[in-house]
Structure 1
């Protein structure tokens, strides 16, 4: 595969009205306009998980790759059932698609996962393997999969979820056949396959102190003492507003860091019992802020990954009946202002109602009006780094009704107008502009729109 690059790009955003061009950035804000830029200013990253079906959603992909996130984690496409569905027959197409997307958008990849008790192919779980045979299978899988992505990923979740809630080892294929030594075997194999990738153990419900967190701590301490290669510990942080917050998270992260390993928040979301209301959302915003603050306060907390960024593709409703609304973007790919601002503020930003602090672009809106109808002319100029794929939304205050549009795909629902790029004008380099237009009919007044959003971000 071709060489792929690392961390980060910036998403351009929009706004302005009537015949005026207005730049919506200040020099200081422009230096840190996205969550990842804010995190980078603190020496960390801010990322989102993804999965292959989502990447076919152009509006979703435009936000994922538009600069808010400096890293991505493939949710399923690097797991065992996807990469070795038949013994010694490897499949990388889905994983390659995620890595290629990340490369194209200057994002790094947290690869996930080499050894887990779940999503194993039938040939593996149905076999009656001896310890020698299973060790060979484990080493061969890691050599092939981690070797395939050698030099292409930032890190691997080498072993995922090895513990029960009481701190005992999970009874599964690996532990039952190989004992706890399978973890050291996997880490050594991963280091041999990709010497430069950071090697992690990842688990949930370890964010605060307790039996499970203590078990992980003791495991990492033992591995370090044995000279087993381990670079980091991942704390999934699948939280819920109804269960309380692990108030000692910062201290817990620090005690792991004091063992000489990196720590990372790897799968963050904050679910709630539906329907959402203002009180639940306020608590959710506080939880997101407190997780972010805990990571920011620990020097070796390298970054935060949310488990996909939008409720549209959240795993929560399908797993926890009656729960959801867990992520900072809603199911329509719009930011939840209070949640987004809570994260941004905890990262050192000012918070601005979900606008991300700046809008690195200009929009000109003008009309040719003949009394019963008009042509709307809109020009978008990108003042930030290149973007690929965009969706523009705005609303009219009167009864303006779309007739036809050009240079984009236009639609209208009530007073709300949506325009997606036409393909040929979906990529805008720094300083580049694209012009779009549409005809509308109306009666009464023809008031200009007062706000635009691009890819779910509301411009001031």
Structure 2
């Protein structure tokens, strides 16, 4: 990681600088990793693998750009190369974000994975809602592939040519392309892509095909058939949008059987989502899951590498698509590396030094009147997490609590002891909870220092 990156603790300290008083720092039971001395991309390259991430072009500045450039050797445009992005109006093209990502990759000595040419989703309205004869549809597909692949000839190393062609039971998905052209559209698209850039690696990409099942077997049979027909096909992409604790036991076996067909395999869109909020147990399970995926790829020579579908939770598609779920990537919303990041490092043979994790408790008076006041304590964690908390302080001028919310508090003399309520005991790394109270005072109302346990 570049030395200019601001640590979570430094950012937190800056945010709290204006508070009335800062409580004692404590080390929590679960800490996350600082970035390894050796970037992920270098660790992966030493193993002959790619370590990639999907990116959003508009965010490739500041800390986001620093991490994307320093840690990964492959980039996938998350949306910038999809048909609706590059040709929103028929005959009118917008290549700005795609060009930006390709230029960024070239400036940072990275390869680009083009995503995606032929798909049932994120097509422009003029295409999706049109009435096309098979001949017209065939021409539209061929022209689109020739234009986009040709534009980036020699600059995009691999393409997800066909995306998500199968249903869960292994039958072909009913799409614009299948309904109009039959299953032959897949061979046609691959052939067109090869003609547009003979050097680019050509993939079929799908989800829920990570383990051996009906859908992955349909993909296997398709690739086998294409190979036998001489259709250009270089690899399969296993998206790997996984759920916490559900890495398929047959992942490595599945990768190997595709490799045995004579094609490469890539993990193309890895994220591992959990029910929110995150806690130390979930983050530990997620780390184990990331390591399992990495190890399965590392065990198969023709597995080219792993791409995460966004490296930071702030750029993840999960929360908007799966309400109540998230925290699916190796970095949190504030770009702090999570245990999953350390698991990737360790799988690649690197080492990382856990930071001294810390949580803080901040007491502040939010309003005050003749004989009363309202106050609050905010508990925040950076590089650490809590699965339960207690906060305490000693009033210095005879103040007394009269009511409390979001905590269970008792006062004995001047000493106040508070503990979490049943619903807010978890404070994840990068997260916070706040509880409040009313109190009485006379003469003065100095703020006390808070201890956190």
Equivalent position of 2:175 in the other structure: 172
Tell me the alpha carbon deviations over residues 307-360 of structure 1, each in whole angstroms, 9 at most, x when there is no partner: 010001110000001000111100001111x221111111111332279xxxxx
**1:148 to 2:154 alignment:** no
**1:136 to 2:139 alignment:** yes
Deviation at 1:122, TM superposition (A): 1.2
Structure 1 residue matching 2:202: 3-state secondary structure: strand
Q: Distance in 1 between matches of 2:39 and 2:350?
A: 9
Q: Distance in 2 between matches of 1:267 and 1:12?
A: 28
Query: Could you tell me whether the CA contact under 8 Å between 2:36 and 2:351 is conserved in 1?
Result: no
Equivalent position of 1:374 in the other structure: none
Equivalent position of 2:449 in the other structure: none
Residue 136 to residue 354, structure 1, CA distance change in 2 (3 Å): farther
Q: Distance in 1 between matches of 2:380 and 2:124?
A: 50
The worse-fitting range, judged by mean Cα deviation, of 257-266 and 340-349 is: 340-349
Q: How does 1:48-197 map to 2 (within 5 A)?
A: 48-55=53-60, 57-65=61-69, 67-197=70-200
Equivalent position of 1:331 in the other structure: 333
Query: Could you tell me whether the CA contact under 8 Å between 2:247 and 2:293 is conserved in 1?
Result: no
Q: Distance in 1 between matches of 2:37 and 2:251?
A: 26
Equivalent position of 1:205 in the other structure: 208
Residue 289 to residue 354, structure 1, CA distance change in 2 (3 Å): farther
Equivalent position of 1:38 in the other structure: 43
Equivalent position of 1:224 in the other structure: 227
Equivalent position of 2:316 in the other structure: 314
Query: Could you tell me whether the CA contact under 8 Å between 1:77 and 1:94 is conserved in 2?
Result: yes
Structure 1 residue matching 2:284: 3-state secondary structure: helix
Query: Could you tell me whether the CA contact under 8 Å between 1:240 and 1:270 is conserved in 2?
Result: yes
Deviation at 1:416, TM superposition (A): 12
Structure 1 residue matching 2:71: 3-state secondary structure: coil
Equivalent position of 1:448 in the other structure: none
Residue 32 to residue 253, structure 1, CA distance change in 2 (3 Å): farther
Residue 58 to residue 414, structure 1, CA distance change in 2 (3 Å): farther
TM-score normalized by the length of structure 1: 0.70
Equivalent position of 1:345 in the other structure: 346
Deviation at 1:13, TM superposition (A): 6.3
Task: Structure 1: give runs of 5+ residues left out of the alignment.
Answer: 1-9, 16-29, 356-393, 399-412, 418-455
Query: Could you tell me whether the CA contact under 8 Å between 1:395 and 1:415 is conserved in 2?
Result: yes
Residue 323 to residue 397, structure 1, CA distance change in 2 (3 Å): closer
Task: Structure 2: give runs of 5+ residues left out of the alignment.
Answer: 7-34, 363-377, 383-429, 431-453
Q: Distance in 2 between matches of 1:49 and 1:201?
A: 17
Structure 2 residue matching 1:59: 3-state secondary structure: helix
Equivalent position of 1:257 in the other structure: 259
Deviation at 1:12, TM superposition (A): 4.6
Residue 251 to residue 104, structure 1, CA distance change in 2 (3 Å): same
Query: Could you tell me whether the CA contact under 8 Å between 1:111 and 1:155 is conserved in 2?
Result: yes
Tell me the alpha carbon deviations over residues 188-226 of structure 1, each in whole angstroms, 9 at most, x when there is no partner: 000000111100000111010100000100010010001
Equivalent position of 2:282 in the other structure: 280
Q: Distance in 1 between matches of 2:244 and 2:361?
A: 37
Q: CA RMSD in A?
A: 2.8
Equivalent position of 1:269 in the other structure: 271
Structure 1 residue matching 2:144: 3-state secondary structure: helix
Equivalent position of 1:290 in the other structure: 292
Q: Distance in 1 between matches of 2:359 and 2:120?
A: 49
Structure 1 residue matching 2:104: 3-state secondary structure: helix
Alignment size in residue pairs: 341
Residue 190 to residue 253, structure 1, CA distance change in 2 (3 Å): same
Deviation at 1:395, TM superposition (A): 12
Q: Distance in 1 between matches of 2:123 and 2:54?
A: 20
Deviation at 1:248, TM superposition (A): 1.1
Deviation at 1:105, TM superposition (A): 1.3
Equivalent position of 1:245 in the other structure: 247
Q: Distance in 2 between matches of 1:233 and 1:129?
A: 29
Deviation at 1:88, TM superposition (A): 3.0
Q: Distance in 2 between matches of 1:31 and 1:204?
A: 30
Query: Could you tell me whether the CA contact under 8 Å between 1:340 and 1:354 is conserved in 2?
Result: no
Deviation at 1:303, TM superposition (A): 1.0
Equivalent position of 2:448 in the other structure: none
Structure 2 residue matching 1:87: 3-state secondary structure: coil
Q: Distance in 2 between matches of 1:269 and 1:141?
A: 30
Query: Could you tell me whether the CA contact under 8 Å between 1:11 and 1:68 is conserved in 2?
Result: no
